[in-house]
Amino acid sequence: MGEIADLYSATGADETASEIVNRHIRYLHRYNEMRDSGLGMLSLLAENKGLTLAQIYKERGMNETVELWFPG
């Protein structure tokens, strides 16, 4: 039983479903803002170097079909 209590404690079992959903929405907004900033910087780099964004992805070892923050 101690293990279950530890899991409840670690997962915030005292939160309501609405609070959990709202927290996840805030995290998604934050993630999207960071992702957009990163993509913007990569776009500026590509423009500065005269390359396409796909070429910058390849140069950086990133898979262009994978999300920006998860290199392939």
Q: pLDDT (tens digit, 9 = 90+) per residue, 28-37?
A: 999 999 989 9
Q: What is the DSSP letter of 16?
A: -
Residue 63: pLDDT band by 50, 70, 90 thresholds?
confident
Whether 14 maps to a domain, the answer reads: yes
The closest of 39, 33, 66, 67 to 53, measured between CA atoms, is: 39
Among 70, 60, 59, which Cα is nearest to 35's? Answer: 70
- This prediction has a pTM of 0.61
Tens-place pLDDT, residues 11-53: 666 778 888 899 999 999 999 999 899 889 999 999 999 999 9
Is 22 inside a domain boundary? yes
Task: Report the distance separating Cα 72 and Cα 68, nearest Å.
Answer: 9
Q: Is residue 32 situated within a structural domain?
A: yes
Instruction: List all residues 6 or more positions away from 45 whose beta carbon is below 8 Å from its beta carbon.
Output: 56
Structure confidence at residue 30 (pLDDT) = 94
Structure tokens at 39: 């993509």
Total structural domains within the chain: 1
